[in-house]
């Protein structure tokens, strides 16, 4: 799923590079890729929640602290939480604009680093708490699952909405952003491939993230592709 996420986001940039931006099919390509990603995400939910849910149950110890919640209650909590998060996101965006200008931060850095870190604070804290309880499978799925959800669900959905309101967006990224996406997937795969974890692997992940953050901080504003409009949403 991570590899698919990376491929879906990298192909438009590669296509743009190969055709030298002369193809009229670029916007259509992004829309078609978005459809593929969205359908795949829906099928992955069926796979994880129905046909192969036993693969995601983990060990018995992972569920000792679970509390039963009725579907209606869970749905209500989800809807209310989503509304509050949307409201807080609006407040955050308006507050960040002034702060970023006063601190000399570019919009791409704010979108890729600042907004992403603050916006994912709840997930980050949950993953850390699960890791402290030695539930590494759950911690890993929280971290990686969030990234895949953004790439396979949120990004295609934004493309669909952009067409619905008459302002089509595409999935085209700059070369540097394409490279960071690929390297991000690679380092996570290298850490997870042996099925084990330790604190040094966590240090490696943080080191890679800090390197990316420093690069985005010093990236000239005129090199970013702010017209794409997806960077803040895909930065997770």
136-178 per-position pLDDT tens digit: 888 888 888 878 888 888 889 988 999 899 888 888 877 788 8
d(CA 162, CA 185): 27
Q: Pull the structure tokens for residue 196.
A: 């084990």
The answer to whether 221 touches 107, Cβ cutoff 8 Å, is yes
Phi-psi region of 58 (alpha: psi -120 to 50; beta: other; left: phi over 0): left
Please write the tens of the pLDDT for every residue from 66-110: 567 788 898 999 899 888 887 887 787 777 777 777 887 877 788
Q: Where are the alpha helices (DSSP H) in the chain?
A: 2-18, 26-46, 71-103, 107-109, 115-119, 121-132, 136-149, 155-164, 175-192, 199-218, 231-234
Q: What percent of the chain has pLDDT over 70?
A: 88
Please write the tens of the pLDDT for every residue from 98-136: 777 788 787 778 878 887 787 777 788 888 888 888 888
136-149 and 175-192 are packed helices; what angle lies between their axes, rounded to 10 degrees? 160
Per-residue b/e over 28-43, b at no fewer than 16 CB within 10 Å?
ebbbebbeebbebbee
- The three-point CA angle 194-37-222 to 5° equals 90
Phi-psi region of 121 (alpha: psi -120 to 50; beta: other; left: phi over 0): alpha
| pTM higher than the cut 0.75 | no
The residues near 174 (Cβ < 8 Å, ≥ 6 apart) are 13, 223, 224, 225
d(CA 74, CA 84): 15
Kindly indicate the confidence band of residue 191, based on its pLDDT and cuts at 50, 70 and 90. confident
The answer to whether 173 touches 181, Cβ cutoff 8 Å, is yes
The answer to whether 201 touches 191, Cβ cutoff 8 Å, is yes
Sketch the domain layout of the chain as residue ranges: 2-58+69-234
d(CA 131, CA 140): 8
């Amino acid at each position: 799923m991570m590899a698919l996420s990376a491929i879906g986001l990298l192909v438009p940039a590669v296509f743009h590079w190969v055709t030298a931006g002369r193809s009229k099919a670029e916007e259509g390509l992004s829309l078609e890729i978005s459809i593929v990603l969205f359908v795949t995400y829906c099928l992955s939910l069926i796979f994880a929640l129905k046909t192969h849910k036993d693969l995601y149950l983990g060990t018995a110890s992972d569920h000792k602290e679970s509390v039963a919640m009725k579907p209606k209650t869970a749905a209500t909590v989800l809807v209310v939480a989503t509304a509050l998060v949307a409201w807080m996101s609006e407040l955050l965006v308006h507050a960040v604009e002034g702060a970023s200008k006063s601190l000399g931060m570019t919009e791409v850095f704010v979108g890729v680093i600042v907004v992403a870190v603050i916006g994912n604070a709840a997930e980050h804290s949950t993953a850390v708490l699960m890791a402290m309880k030695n539930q590494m499978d759950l911690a890993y799925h929280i971290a990686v699952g969030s990234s895949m959800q953004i790439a396979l669900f949120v990004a295609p959905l934004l493309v669909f909405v952009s067409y619905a309101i008459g302002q089509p967006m595409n999935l085209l990224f700059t070369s540097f952003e394409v490279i960071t996406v690929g390297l991000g997937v690679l380092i996570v795969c290298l850490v997870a491939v042996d099925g084990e974890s330790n604190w040094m692997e966590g240090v490696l992940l943080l080191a890679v993230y800090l390197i990316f953050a420093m690069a985005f901080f010093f990236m000239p504003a005129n090199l970013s592709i702010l017209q794409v409009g997806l960077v803040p949403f895909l930065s997770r």
